């Protein structure tokens, strides 16, 4: 049993979460059949998870199809008196999709994405330079993603469930063919609608966007099958008992970097693994129930991998922005596109 305050999740809840992480658009009938329960009961249990904000259905669009091929992690040292005002200013920057107040080498860490390195330079020299209180910055450029499973908390073994559909969640590498897939205005409108409500029916999408149901079905199938976007359940990690979140920068022997990154992909407490250029060679995102669990991870897991020279922890204190499920919304807004609702995705189990 996993607890969050007065909340309890049983094995059926966890199984539902795992299945919806695999496919957030699957029908209630398909979910019920997989779990061996009635359709009505499956719908009721899923709706309860949505209503209690334990999980939500989100759409993750591959940033490369939007032309975003430059990603940076920026550690920022801010005067304590300006800490929260600086975080608020950073939240307002459209290229910044993650803002964290942290404890470690820096007291704010952001992640940002751009079309090219010149735009990154503009963030560092212009945007950050205009924010009072910033004393120093340290920029790390992401070279390659080796794992990204923020939306696969139950499927990745973090709660001890055996996956039904696959042994591990999908990993992303920046060399994938998806970067060569072109998206047109209709694709962007579909993705924008999915960011608002990832489970809305094909017939509803077709009506909103003024096309036939058959054409919409074909477009949507292409978007999902080619990996342009994934519609998945994104579960609140605190609902699974996680209270400690750490970003760990790893210094590795150059000859061992690739092998280390591949080994890190399969450790269950790791959500993401990236190879980077900067003071570190690899950065990982992790989550744990207690500080003792983090300590054991550093000693037994990282300490047991040959080639790791050092590991530096940055602890998440407060998440001020996380807009990766709304990349298309930001992209359309930057283009002066259609205005979209600011409400979070609708909660219907269907």
Question: What is the widest separation between alpha-carbon atoms in the chain?
Answer: 59
- Return the structure tokens found at 45: 């249990």
Contact 115, 67 (CB under 8 A): yes
Quote the pLDDT of residue 161: 40
Model pLDDT, residue 151: 55
How do the pLDDT tens digits run along the chain, 350 residues long? 444 444 689 999 999 999 999 999 999 999 999 999 999 999 999 999 999 999 999 999 999 999 999 999 999 999 999 999 999 999 999 999 999 999 999 999 999 999 999 999 999 999 999 999 999 999 999 999 998 875 555 555 444 443 333 334 444 444 445 556 789 999 999 999 999 999 999 999 999 999 999 999 999 999 999 999 999 999 999 988 999 999 999 999 999 999 999 999 999 899 999 999 999 999 999 999 999 999 999 999 999 999 999 999 999 999 999 999 999 998 888 877 654 444 344 455 55
pTM of the model as a whole: 0.85
Cα separation of 120 and 122, whole Å?
Answer: 5
* Residue with tokens 């307002």, as numbered in its chain: 92
The pLDDT assigned to 149 comes to 74
pLDDT computed for residue 8 by the predictor = 81
pLDDT of 350 reads 56
What pLDDT sits at residue 170? 41
What are 315's two structure tokens?
A: 């602890």
What is the token pair recorded at 88?
A: 């608020």
Instruction: At 3, list the tokens.
Output: 């607890």
State the angle between helix axes of 185-196 and 202-209 in degrees (0 to 180), rounded to the nearest 10.
130
Q: Residue 335: what pLDDT?
A: 78
Structure-token match 């499927």, residue found: 155
| Cβ-based neighbours of 313, under 8 Å, separated by 6 or more | 104, 246, 247, 248, 294, 298
Do residues 70 and 276 make contact, with C-beta atoms less than 8 angstroms apart?
no
Strands 55-61 and 282-288, by their bridges, are unpaired
Cα(255)–Cα(243) distance, rounded to whole angstroms? 35
Please tell me whether residue 50 adopts helix, strand or coil conformation. helix
Q: How far apart are CA 235 and CA 219, in angstroms?
A: 27
**Per-residue buried b or exposed e for 229-265, using 16+ beta carbons within 10 Å of the residue's own CB:** bbbbbbbbbbbbbbeebbbbbbebeeebbeebbebbb
66 closest CA partner among 344, 334, 338: 334
State how far the Cα of 31 lies from the Cα of 39, in Å rounded to an integer: 8
What b/e string do you get for 280-302 counting C-beta neighbours within 10 Å, with b at 16 or more? bbbbbbbbbeeeebbeebeeebb
245, 349, 285: which is closest to 17 by C-alpha?
349
């Amino acid at each position: 049993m996993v607890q969050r305050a007065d909340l309890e999740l049983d094995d059926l809840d966890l199984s539902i979460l795992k299945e919806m992480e695999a496919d957030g658009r699957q029908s209630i009938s398909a979910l019920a059949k997989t779990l061996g329960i009635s359709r009505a009961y499956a719908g009721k249990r899923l709706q309860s998870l949505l209503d209690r904000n334990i999980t939500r259905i989100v759409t993750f669009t591959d940033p490369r199809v939007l032309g975003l091929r430059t990603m940076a992690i920026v550690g920022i040292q801010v005067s304590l008196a300006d800490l929260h005002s600086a975080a608020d200013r950073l939240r307002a920057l459209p290229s910044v999709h993650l803002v964290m107040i942290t404890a470690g080498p820096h007291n704010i860490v952001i992640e940002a994405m751009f079309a090219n390195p010149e735009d990154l330079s503009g963030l560092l020299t212009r945007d950050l330079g205009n924010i009072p209180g910033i004393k120093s910055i340290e920029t790390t450029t992401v070279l390659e993603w080796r794992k990204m499973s923020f939306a696969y908390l139950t499927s990745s073994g973090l709660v001890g469930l055996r996956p039904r559909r696959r042994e591990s969640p999908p990993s992303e590498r920046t060399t994938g063919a998806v970067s060569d897939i072109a998206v047109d205005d209709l694709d962007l409108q579909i993705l924008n609608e999915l960011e608002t409500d990832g489970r809305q029916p094909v017939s509803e999408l077709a009506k909103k966007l003024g096309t036939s149901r058959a054409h919409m079905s074909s477009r949507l199938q292409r978007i999902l099958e080619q990996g342009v976007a994934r519609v998945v359940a994104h579960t609140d990690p605190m609902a699974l008992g996680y209270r400690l979140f750490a970003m760990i920068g790893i210094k590795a022997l150059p000859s061992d970097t690739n092998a280390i990154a591949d080994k890190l992909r399969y450790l269950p407490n790791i959500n993401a693994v990236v190879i980077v250029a900067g003071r570190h060679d690899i950065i990982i995102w992790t989550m744990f129930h207690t500080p003792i669990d983090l300590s054991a991870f550093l000693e037994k897991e990282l300490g047991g991998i040959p080639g790791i020279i050092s590991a530096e922890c940055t602890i998440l204190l407060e998440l001020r922005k996380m807009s990766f499920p709304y990349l298309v919304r930001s992209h359309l807004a930057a283009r002066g596109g259609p205005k979209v609702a600011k409400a979070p995705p609708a909660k219907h189990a269907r």
